[in-house]
Structure 1
Amino acid sequence: MTRTVGLIIFPGFQALDLAVGTVFELANAALGEPAYAVEMLSETGGVTPSSFGAGVDSRPFGAPGFDTVMMTGGLGDRPSTPGLIAFLKEAAAASRRTASICTGAFFLAEAGLLDGRRATTHWARGRDLQRRYPKVKVEEDRIFIEDRGVWTSAGMTACIDLALALVAADVGEAVARTIAKRLVVYHLRAGGQSQFSAMLDLKPASDRIQTALAFARENIAIDLSVERLAEVARLSPRQFSRAFRSETGQSPAKAVETLRVEAARQMLEAGRLSNEVIAQEAGFVDPDRMRRAFLRAYGHPPQALRRAARSMQASA
Structure 2
Amino acid sequence: MHHVGLILYPDFQVLGLSMCSAFELANSAVGKRAYEISLLSEHGGLVQTSAGFGIDTKPLVKQPFDTLIVTGYNREVRASPALVNYLREAEPSTRRIGSICTGAYILAAAGLLDGRRATTHWESARAFQSLFPKVKVEEDRIFINDGKVWTSAGMSACVDLALALVEQDLGHDVARRVAKQLVLYHRRAGGQSQFSVMLEIQPRTDRIQAALIYAKDNLKSELSVDDLARIANLSPRQFRRVFQTETGQSPAKAIENLRLETARLLIEGGYRTVDSIARETGFGDRERMRRAFVRAFGQPPQVIQRASRA
**TM-score, normalisation: structure 2:** 0.96
For the Cα contact (< 8 Å) 1:106–1:129, is it kept in 2? Answer: yes
Specify the alignment match of 2:74 in structure 1.
75
SS in 1 for 2:6: strand
Aligned to 1:143: 142
Task: Name which of structure 1's ranges 155-164 and 80-89 shifts more when overlaid on structure 2.
Answer: 80-89
Correspondence 1:275 to 2:274: yes
In 2, Cα distance between equivalents of 1:271 and 1:62: 41
Q: Which residue of 2 aligns with 1:211?
A: 210
Tell me the residue number matched to 1:21.
20
- Asked if the contact 1:11–1:50 (Cα under 8 Å) also holds between the matched residues in 2, the reply is yes
Q: Is the 8 A contact 1:280 1:286 kept in 2?
A: yes
Query: Is this contact kept in 1: 2:117–2:146, CA < 8 A?
Result: yes
Aligned to 1:45: 44
Q: Which range is displaced more, 101-110 or 72-81? A: 72-81
CA distance in 2 between counterparts of 1:131 and 1:78 reads: 14
Alpha-carbon deviations, 1:201-245, whole Å to 9, x = none? 212111221121122112222231212222222222222211101
CA distance in 2, matches of 1:304, 1:114: 25
> Are the counterparts in 2 of residues 167 and 176 from structure 1 also a CA contact under 8 Å?
yes
Q: Secondary structure of the residue that 2:271 maps to in structure 1?
A: coil
- Conservation of the 8 A alpha-carbon contact between 2:25 and 2:178: yes
Does residue 281 of structure 2 align to residue 286 of structure 1? no
Cα deviation 1:59-116 (Å, max 9, x = unaligned): 1111221110110010112322111111122222221110100100000000111111
Q: Is the 8 A contact 1:49 1:55 kept in 2?
A: yes
Q: Matched residues in 2 for 1:118 and 1:296: separation?
A: 25
Residue 175 of structure 1 deviates from its aligned partner by 0.6
After superposition, give the CA deviation of every residue in 1:293-315 in whole Å (9 maximum; x if it has no partner).
223323333223333434xx2xx
Distance 2:71 2:298 in 1: 36
- Does 2:94 correspond to 1:92? no
Structure 2 match to 1:7 = 6
8 A contact 2:75–2:124 mirrored in 1: no
- Residue identity opposite 2:301 in structure 1: P
Give, in whole Å, the separation in 2 of the partners of 1:23 and 1:308.
28
Question: Helix, strand or coil: the match of 1:64?
Answer: coil
Q: Distance in 1 between matches of 2:77 and 2:63?
A: 23
Counterpart code for 2:62 = A
SS at match of 2:46: strand
Cα distance in 2 between the residues matched to 1:262 and 1:226: 20
**Matched-pair identity in %:** 56
Q: Is the 8 A contact 2:117 2:137 kept in 1?
A: yes
What's 2:29 paired with? 30
Structure 1 counterpart of 2:252? 253
* Aligned mates of 1:19, 1:132 — CA distance in 2: 29
Number of residues of Structure 1 aligned to a counterpart in Structure 2:
310
Q: In structure 2, the residue corresponding to 1:108 is in which secondary structure?
A: helix
Structure 2: gaps spanning 5 or more residues: none
Compute the displacement of 1:32 (Å): 0.8
Hey, what does 2:263 align to over in structure 1?
A: 264
User: SS at 1:205's partner residue?
Assistant: coil
Distance in 2 of aligned mates of 1:103 and 1:284: 37
Q: Which moved more, 1:213-222 or 1:54-63?
A: 213-222
**Contact 2:167–2:174 (CA<8 Å) still a contact in 1?**
yes
- Structure 1 contact 180–188 (Cα < 8 Å) conserved: yes
TM-score, normalised to structure 1, is: 0.94
Moved more, 166-175 or 113-122: 113-122
Q: Structure 1: how far apart are the matches of 2:23 and 2:296?
A: 38
The runs of 5 or more residues in structure 1 that have no matched partner are none
Q: Displacement, 1:193?
A: 1.5
| C-alpha separation in 2, matches of 1:25 and 1:125 | 30
SS at match of 1:294: helix
Cα RMSD (Å) = 1.4
- C-alpha distance in 1, partners of 2:216/2:53? 38
- 8 Å CA contact 1:45–1:58 kept in 2: the answer is yes
In 1: Cα distance, 2:137 partner to 2:253 partner: 31
Tell whether the 8 Å contact from 1:64 to 1:90 is kept in structure 2 after alignment.
no
| Partner of residue 196, structure 1 | 195
Amino acid at match of 1:105: A
